[in-house]
Structure 1
Amino acid sequence: MGLPRPSETFDRVYSPPEPPSTAARRSAVVKIFTVVAVFAAVASVVMILLADGGEVGGPGDRATVVARSSARVAPPRPAPSSTRGRLLTALPAPCGTVSRPTVDRLVPRARGGQSANLTLATCTYSSAGAGSRWLRIETRRFDPADGTDPVAAARTFFAAQWTRAREDPMVRTVRLERQDGLGDEAYRWYKIDKGPPTVVGEVAIRIGNGVVTVGYSGEPPGPYAGPENERKYLAEAAGVAREVLDALK
């Protein structure tokens, strides 16, 4: 038999678990505080709504007020064409838009004639004899009562006048062109009648749902299509048209 093995005593080494790192502890703390903050915010909103009775639009509905104010970023929608600008609701007296001194200067010893209804008014001043002249003012108003857009109707009528001026076989057109600075759109037309030897300066204007047409005619000395006559008759017609526009305001 062999010798018995001597008993040996071994000391067991104990290693405790390593503590968590500082970064991990900080992350856990941050998460806890975040959760607490969220719950606190939700509780505050609930308390505010309950205090105001839960009515949307109430004086304490702060969340709704903030949402509405932040949503006002889109530009307003344009108004329909029938509501843009001032509309003519009635026509003035047919011969009440031009001053008497203007009439006496343009048409000496003038005789006047007029007619009117709810949508059309005309006034004509004329003189007889040598150097006879006439001045005619026509004012149209397009009424929305028939269910149409009055501005669109006036625009269509004005376009038809422009087309007629370009194609009128009864006159010789010397100048026909658009004119800026009068109403919403305007044109001026200098023409010579093929009948009696007279010249006509005409200015037509659209303003909203109204169309104003002024014609000034006479028997000027010298060449009918001369530049001096053209400037004179177009300038006088434009001046009368401005007086009419002022009377419509």
Structure 2
Amino acid sequence: MTRPSRRSLLCGTASMIALSAGCVADDPGNASNGDGGGDGGGDGGGDGDGGNETDDGDGAPETDPDDEIGDLPDGLADCETQPYYYPEPVESPDAGLILDQNDANDWFADRGTQSDAVTQFVDETDFETSIIVALEATGPNLCYEMTLEEIDIDEGDSETEDDDELALDAAVREVPDGNDMCGQQVRTVGRLVRATFEAEPLTRISATIVDKDGQEHGIGIASESSSASASKESSYGSGSDSQSVDS
């Protein structure tokens, strides 16, 4: 069978305060000052930046769960993402597969308290049609985060969909936040990717993560089905399926 050309979907993000739940950055909020204070001009033009957002204290921006990307690879109905962080740095880049609420509970237990935005993102997931892939690596300071750069569905060699896999490319990138200085805290930076499928969700994952030093790591995860819990135990754990590849 002839493999179709790979369709790329760039999912970069512009800044920490402009991140959205989709694979592209959301439009910044245009909040009004509310007090109507101005110089009387009908256009209300002023210098205020009333669109500034607040976070939950861990650096994770608020996201719009309704944000959608405009173009998706065949087989995907939707794709949304949510950044997350925790203070303990991981030894190497890792990826995890969350197929149901039990997986989600174990994932939270391993990573401690997360922001309300992260909790809501997971709670709103319909695991009948969607999966969540957790991508994470070490960030050298608070100006770095995990960015999703490409998502696609790679078709296998067989005529069935059993060999099809969801392919994701991600990288640890420095994201300017308008400040000249970054907090010098080494931590884990991650991103949850929720993929919603038009048919049965895929449970084979291929992830490539470029770490803070520019080194590429390939990670593969496979589960026989959404109910195959025995084969999923390592999917969000120590990253035993990881393989590092020099770039």
Asked if TM exceeds 0.5, the reply is no
Give me the TM-score of the superposition, normalised by structure 1: 0.29
In terms of fraction of residues, the more helix-rich structure is: 1
